Structures are given as structure tokens and as C-alpha cells.
Amino acid sequence: MNLKDKSLLESRAFINGAWRGAATTFDVTNPATGEVIAQVADCAVEDVKQAIDAAHSAQKAWAAKTGKERAAILRRWFDLMIAAQDDLGMILCAEMGKPLAEAKGEIAYGASFIEWFAEEAKRVYGDTIPGHQPDKRIVVLKQPVGVVGAITPWNFPNAMIARKVAPALAAGCSFVARPAELTPLSALAMAVLAERAGMPAGVFNVVPNSRAAEIGQEMCANPKVAKITFTGSTRVGQILMRQGADTIKKMSLELGGNAPFIVFDDADLDAAVEGAMIAKFRNNGQTCVCANRIYVQDGVYDAFTDKLSAAIKGLMPGNGMDKGVTSGPLINEAAVSKVQEHLSDALSKGARVITGGNRLEGTFFEPTLLADVPASAKVSREETFGPIAPLIRFETEDEVIALANDTEFGLAGYFYANDLSRVWRVAEAIETGMVGINTGLISTEVAPFGGVKQSGLGREGSKFGMDDYLELKYLCIGGIR
């Protein structure tokens, strides 16, 4: 990697403000080439316990700082991340595979949460409530929950940590981050810059490791951990909830999705195609808010199919470091297998390939458009997490709402329509935490990101994002004469 600042490529753990190796290391490979790009300290449970102890020791002093003092450090961290955007993007592209431009975009997206919550840190307002008796005065305080344990996924190795650590630190919490084994380098680079920003020792800790389950067990069981924040599959979210039950751990969970993307007869088809391309193929289809199934109303089905097919043919899979590349590799063999499973299942149930459908070298896969997909196909019921766009034809609004909601997931949904009454009817009827209306890109730091049903608990980003890291304390003051 041709970095301007080579010190950003860190392979040690960051615990209590110090960099440390471990007894063993694990390899981090570039998914586009298979080359080993780093050998990273493989933290043991004992290391994680020490990180939790450090976070616990540091938290009270961190919370005792004023919101403005915490904000100043977070703001410096933001400034340093933006100044290092090119290097951080290159590290992210190398370990995760997304195209360099998209990786740099993720750095800006992740940094935007740090900027946003640096501002929110000064505005943790409580309440006063009129007393229920003449001598009573009531005040409601908001206080930080304490030590936060975080487990994050490989698909957004910078932004998924930033979206959690920023509100946590702004609220006065301390933080132990365990990044995905596949992509720890972005988290470690964030720690390099946190140290430079003047983050006190123990406030932010990063413990890379190759055995996620044991770290999750420790974080869930350790009484010094007040809260778990997790982004990943619903399966793992369920494991963490079970494990956290014994200590009533607070949980913020951003889990799996199965986003419907609906094109009505009155849609602007060119806008709908543009939105479908973003919602389906951003990060090569490896996002929890990707359009997983595309419903197209009868009257525009053929025209939309032709337009979308033409747009998909313009995508260029390849090494994310190369100019012009629009889609990187899938993250690993398991991801390729899931895509192939969904493809063959759909074809066996009558779907047709309009474009794509082939595995390429390594873990690259052609961006694929399927037509005439039945609602019973796996690709419309399970999260594909890859570059397959399945088209499902529908006739009526009621029919497509029922289809869209027929899933245990409820993270994001999208639809294109211009009739105002229809927009309100569908927006209110769709069972998701977030709805894109005439847009395929909804992720921003200013709005509450999160799902309903089995897509998670809590919200990240926006003014609501602080709530997950704060506790209400009710003061009842009596004897006032």
C-alpha cells in the first residue's frame, strides 16, 4: 500500500492508550488478490478483560469532562480522519475490497458521525417536571451508561465503528471495539488518530481477534460492560441477546435486512433505475440496506427491465484500486456460495437471467439481473448480500404491500411513485425502520438509522442516536418550603 502516512497501518491492539502485540497473530488478506496485507495481534480473552478494565477505569473521568471538552477531542479526531481520508480509504479498500472511491466515501461517512456527535456532546439536555406535591421538585438527568462493548462487521469497517463510538464517547461512555477478523485495519487506524487527537488512555480500545464468539461471551458476561452495540447478522444478534440476558445488558443491534424496492406505474423510471442501481449495487450488494427484492408493477415492468439491464451492463467488477472499477470482490467464498445458491434456486423456480449470472475469477461475481422471479424464491426471502437484482412482477398496491411486509426483517424499504396519496399510504404501510421514497440512498448521520422486527433494536445517528448511550435518572427533591 502506497500510504503517505505508513504509521496508520497498525497491526497491534490498542489497550489503555498503549499499543501491544499478542501471543499469536492472524492474517488479513486483500479479497481482490488474496495477498496477505498484514499480520494482526490476535487478542485473547485476557486482553479483552484488560481493555474492559481500562475502559472502566477511564470512564468516570471522561464523563466528568464537560461536553465541550469531549466535543473538542472528537472534533480533532474528525479533522484528523478527514486529513487522512486518502490513506484510510486505501487501507479500507485493501482489506475489504470496495472500490477506492467508495472506500474514501466511507471514511467521509464514518467521520460525519464523529463530527455530528462532537456537536451533540454539548447538548445532553435533561428535564424539569412540575412537582406532584407542593414541597417536591422534580429533575430528570441524563447520564452515560458506562463501558460499551462493540462488535462490528466487515462490510463497513470504518463507518460501523464510527457510528457507535461517536455517540458513546459524546455521551461520556468509554468503548471497547472488536472489529471483524476480516477487516481490523480500519479500526486500528482509527485508534492511531484517536491517540493523536488526545483521547485519554482507556476511553477508546481496539481488540482485534480471530475468535469472535469468545470475545462476545466475555463482553456479554463481564459486569463492567454496561452495554453491547452490534452490527451484523440477525443470527449473531440473537446469540448476543441470549448471552447478555444474565446481566441484563443493554443492547443496540443493527441486524440483517431484506429490503423491498417497489416501482409503481406512476414512477419516474429513469429515477427508479438510478435508485435501484445505488440501493442494489452499493458495496457490491453487501450492505444491510441493499434492495434485496425489486417489485415492478405490470404497466412498467418491461420498460424498467430494459432500462435496468442497460445500467447494470455499465458496471465494471475488478480490483478496487484500479481506475474505473465500480464493483469489488465479494468478501469471501461463503459470500460467493450464498449468491450462487440464491441464483440457482431462482432459476430452478422459473426465473430468467437478463444479464450477468456468472462467477468470475477469485470471489468476483458478475452484476446480475433476474426477471420473473417468484415470491417463493430464496433470493426474495433471505438477504443475498451480493450483486443479484431479482425482479418480481406485481399488479396492485395491496398485493405488493403484503409481499413487501411478508418477512421477519424490517430494516429499510424503498419505493418510487409520484401520486401523493399513494406515497403516504405506502410509506405508512411498509413495515421497516427506514423508507427511501424516490431515492435509493438513505444513509446519513443526520437521520435515525435502524430497523424493526428482527432487523434490530435502537437507532444510530441523528439526535436520537445519543439516547442509546444515556440513562435517565429521576431526582425527586422533597421538603422544599
Ligand X SMILES: O=C(O)[C@H](O)CS(=O)(=O)O
Residues belonging to the active site: 254
Minimum distance, C-beta of residue 239 to ligand NDP, in the bound complex (Å)? 5
Does 469 sit near ligand X (CB under 6 A)?
Answer: no
The C-alpha atoms of residue 336 and residue 284 are separated, in whole angstroms, by 12
Stretch that binds ligand X, among 75-83, 153-161, 169-177, 209-217 (CB under 6 A): 153-161
The residue (of 210 and 233) whose beta carbon lies closer to ligand X is: 233
Single residue of 81, 93, 151, 311 touching ligand NDP by CB under 6 A: 151
The C-alpha atoms of residue 5 and residue 86 are separated, in whole angstroms, by 10
Does 144 sit near ligand NDP (CB under 6 A)?
Answer: no
Q: Which of 358, 353, 361 is nearest to 329 (CA)?
A: 361
Single residue of 231, 355, 368, 407 touching ligand NDP by CB under 6 A: 231
Residue ranges in 257-296 that form contacts with ligand NDP under rule CB under 6 A: 288
Does 236 sit near ligand NDP (CB under 6 A)?
Answer: yes
213 binds, among ligand NDP, ligand X, none (CB under 5 to 8 A by kind): ligand NDP
Task: Name the strand (E) or helix (H) holding 142.
Answer: strand 137-144
What are the distances in angstroms from CA 140 to CA 60, 129, 184, 254? Answer: 20, 8, 39, 28
The helix/strand/coil state of 342 is helix
Minimum distance, C-beta of residue 399 to ligand X, in the bound complex (Å)? 28
Does 375 sit near ligand NDP (CB under 6 A)?
Answer: no
Q: Which of 231, 280, 245, 287 is nearest to 459 (CA)?
A: 231
Say how many Å lie between the first and final Cα of the chain, rounded. Answer: 71
Residue ranges in 285-344 that form contacts with ligand X under rule CB under 6 A: 287-289
The C-alpha atoms of residue 413 and residue 404 are separated, in whole angstroms, by 8
Residue 419 Ramachandran class (φ > 0 left, ψ -120 to 50 alpha, else beta): beta
What are the distances in angstroms from CA 1 to CA 68, 84, 90, 95, 138? Answer: 37, 14, 7, 11, 58
Single residue of 102, 106, 254, 460 touching ligand NDP by CB under 6 A: 254
The helix/strand/coil state of 227 is strand
Are the CB atoms for 200 and 17 separated by under 8 Å? yes
Does 155 sit near ligand X (CB under 6 A)?
Answer: yes
Residue ranges in 407-446 that form contacts with ligand X under rule CB under 6 A: 443
The residue (of 300 and 412) whose beta carbon lies closer to ligand NDP is: 412
Does 281 sit near ligand X (CB under 6 A)?
Answer: no
Residue ranges in 152-171 that form contacts with ligand NDP under rule CB under 6 A: 152-155
Interface residues with ligand X (CB under 6 A)? 155-156, 159-160, 231, 287-289, 443, 449
- Which residues of the shown chain bind ligand NDP in the complex (CB under 6 A)? 151-155, 180-182, 212-213, 216, 231-233, 236, 239, 254-256, 288, 383, 385
